[in-house]
């Protein structure tokens, strides 16, 4: 019954608004010509609709309450009622009563519980999504890319002995397809960097600066000096933490030592031309970047490379990209997606997807007790009303449907307000939440000290669907109990 009334009211409001828009076409045209954007105009119409609905709601409550109060005092009857009353020992007149305080209080408490629960679901999910997304994106931007090609033995023995030839032929043609956003070749070897004060073990990475800009973090994180200008650049880009450990600085000379393919020690002096600041200190201490040509010349490997990093369109779906590159690269090299190269990040993403569902279900289980309690109390308060409807010919099935409809409507209103509250909370925090007070602990898990909440439509839809579905099943028990009442006993219940 409530559902039919809501649909009828919705169509009436829609029809009124459509007629209003059609009658004001010229007005809207003038307003838009004066610079009002379509979005702002749409919000104006939405505001008018909201105000009209609010006014209608207030007037409906006033007039409905007044009518119920008058009928509750004077009562009413209709033809045939006295005969039925005498047969079933029922009152000959009906005196409607509405427990506004109890009904409103219980409903508001339940509504507030649903709103807070939905807000907590979505807000906490957005925080967790943002943290994991940042971890994955930061991990991918360090070096792996979405797909990586290297020698089959390189992961077990990442030395200059396990190198591959640069891309050519079919592989080069595949790397030029639209599915590939960017790609870069690298030489990556263990090395030792020495200053006049200290010596540290690092990973030396020779890069092509132009190609690397679209893939890794280093170009965007240079805070002092400059980035590498060409693949033959003789300078180094070093992390700030490493500079502090070595007690050196921008423009200072350092020595790089590593091994060539013959396992002989090779070394050369380089000048620090750039210093980068990373979100994670471990990156600043562990990586040193130089020109690919200069590093190849140092190691004496010609044009051989350690790996090819490839960036696709979506880190969550790299299956097609991986298959395409693997087919083109051939059997002599190893081609792996990022989640197999960095298994920790891959497992974090999978765990997060499962955590979202578990989190939403757990929060709703807490809500369901309040929902069932509110519905049971509503049924107890309306025993005589339900008995009267049954006596007037309403079937148990209709009673069941009405109680379920009330429950679903309450959930829908709570979901709407909760979704809006979550969005209003998350939107101002898009620039990040500083959690540097626990930054060291966050870094231990590979997360940065600034969290950027990520609100995904699929998470919002999932939360809403789970609440509606589980809410429906939670409402079955009180609704079924209400439909089982005996009309005579219910009406005469004190």
pLDDT digits (tens, 9 = 90+) for 197-256: 899 999 999 999 988 887 877 877 888 999 999 889 999 999 999 999 999 999 999 999
Reply yes or no on whether the pLDDT at 281 is more than 70. Answer: yes
Average pLDDT, the chain: 79
Least Cα distance to 464 among 2, 114, 175, 45 occurs for 114
Quick one: DSSP state of residue 424? Answer: H
- Per-residue confidence (pLDDT) for residue 1, from 0 to 100: 45
- 297 by Cβ neighbours in 10 Å (0-12 / 13-18 / 19+) ranks as middle
- Per-residue confidence (pLDDT) for residue 88, from 0 to 100: 54
- Per-residue confidence (pLDDT) for residue 191, from 0 to 100: 94
Structure tokens at 463: 């939360």
Least Cα distance to 425 among 35, 94, 54, 130 occurs for 130
Q: Mean pLDDT throughout 90-99?
A: 60
Reply yes or no on whether the pLDDT at 350 is more than 80. Answer: no
Structure tokens at 78: 């209709």
Reply yes or no on whether the pLDDT at 102 is more than 60. Answer: no
Reply yes or no on whether the pLDDT at 22 is more than 90. Answer: no
Residues above pLDDT 90, as percent of the chain: 17
- Per-residue confidence (pLDDT) for residue 448, from 0 to 100: 62
Structure tokens at 353: 């997807």
- Per-residue confidence (pLDDT) for residue 128, from 0 to 100: 79
- Per-residue confidence (pLDDT) for residue 2, from 0 to 100: 46
Residues above pLDDT 70, as percent of the chain: 77
Cα–Cα separations (whole angstroms), residue 280 to 14, 113, 225:
54, 39, 20
Reply yes or no on whether the pLDDT at 4 is more than 70. Answer: no
Cα–Cα separations (whole angstroms), residue 91 to 69, 77, 85, 385:
19, 10, 6, 13
Q: Is 0.95 surpassed by the pTM of this model?
A: no
Query: Do 22 and 425 contact (CB within 8 A), yes or no?
Result: no
Reply yes or no on whether the pLDDT at 190 is more than 90. Answer: yes
Query: What is the per-residue pLDDT across 104-130, written as a single tens digit (0 to 9) for each?
Result: 565 677 777 778 878 888 888 888 788
Cα–Cα separations (whole angstroms), residue 133 to 6, 282, 446:
41, 19, 11
Q: How confident is the model at residue 387 (pLDDT cuts 50, 70, 90)?
A: confident
Highest mean pLDDT among 283-297, 334-348, 353-367, 471-485: 283-297
- Per-residue confidence (pLDDT) for residue 121, from 0 to 100: 80
């Amino acid at each position: 019954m409530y559902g039919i009334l809501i649909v009828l009211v919705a169509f009436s409001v829609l029809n009124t608004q459509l007629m209003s828009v059609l009658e004001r076409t010229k007005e809207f045209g003038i307003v838009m010509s004066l610079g009002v954007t379509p979005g702002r105009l749409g919000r104006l119409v939405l505001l008018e609709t909201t105000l009209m609905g609010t006014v209608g709601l207030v007037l409906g409550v006033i007039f409905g309450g007044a009518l119920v109060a008058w009928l509750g005092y004077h009562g009413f009857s209709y033809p045939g009622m006295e005969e039925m009353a005498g047969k079933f020992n029922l009152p000959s007149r009906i005196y409607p009563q509405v427990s506004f305080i109890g009904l409103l209080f219980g409903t508001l408490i339940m509504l507030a519980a649903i709103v807070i629960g939905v807000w907590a679901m979505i807000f906490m999910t957005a925080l967790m999504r943002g943290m994991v997304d940042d971890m994955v994106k930061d991990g991918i931007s360090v070096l792996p890319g979405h797909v990586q090609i290297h020698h089959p033995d390189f992961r077990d023995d990442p030395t200059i002995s396990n190198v591959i030839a640069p891309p050519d032929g079919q592989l080069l043609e595949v790397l030029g397809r639209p599915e590939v956003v960017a790609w870069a070749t690298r030489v990556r070897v263990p090395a030792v960097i020495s200053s006049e004060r200290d010596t540290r073990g690092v990973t030396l990475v020779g890069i092509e600066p132009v190609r690397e800009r679209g893939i890794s973090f280093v170009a965007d994180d240079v805070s002092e000096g400059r980035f590498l200008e060409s693949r033959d650049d003789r300078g180094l880009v070093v992390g700030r933490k490493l500079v502090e450990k070595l007690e050196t600085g921008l423009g200072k000379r350092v020595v790089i030592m590593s091994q060539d393919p013959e396992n002989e020690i090779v070394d050369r002096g380089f000048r620090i031309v750039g210093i980068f600041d990373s979100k994670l200190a471990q990156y600043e201490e562990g990586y040193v970047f130089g020109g690919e040509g200069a590093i190849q010349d140092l190691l004496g490997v010609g044009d051989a490379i350690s790996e090819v990093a490839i960036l696709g369109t979506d880190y969550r779906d790299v299956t097609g990209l991986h298959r395409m590159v693997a087919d083109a690269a051939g059997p002599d090299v190893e081609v792996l997606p990022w989640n197999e190269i960095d298994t920790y990040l891959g497992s974090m993403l999978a765990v997060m997807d499962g955590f979202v569902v578990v989190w939403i279900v757990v929060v709703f289980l807490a809500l369901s007790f309040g929902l069932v309690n509110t519905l049971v109390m509503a049924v107890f308060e309306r025993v005589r009303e339900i008995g009267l409807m049954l006596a007037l010919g309403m079937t148990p099935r209709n009673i069941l449907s009405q109680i379920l409809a009330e429950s679903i409507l309450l959930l829908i209103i709570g979901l709407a307000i909760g979704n809006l509250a979550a969005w209003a909370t998350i939107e101002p925090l898009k620039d990040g939440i500083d959690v540097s007070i626990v930054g060291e602990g966050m870094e231990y898990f590979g997360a940065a000290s600034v969290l950027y909440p990520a609100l995904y439509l699929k998470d919002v839809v999932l939360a809403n669907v789970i609440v509606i579905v589980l809410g429906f099943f939670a409402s079955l028990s009180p609704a079924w109990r209400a439909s089982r009442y005996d009309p005579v006993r219910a009406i005469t219940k004190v």
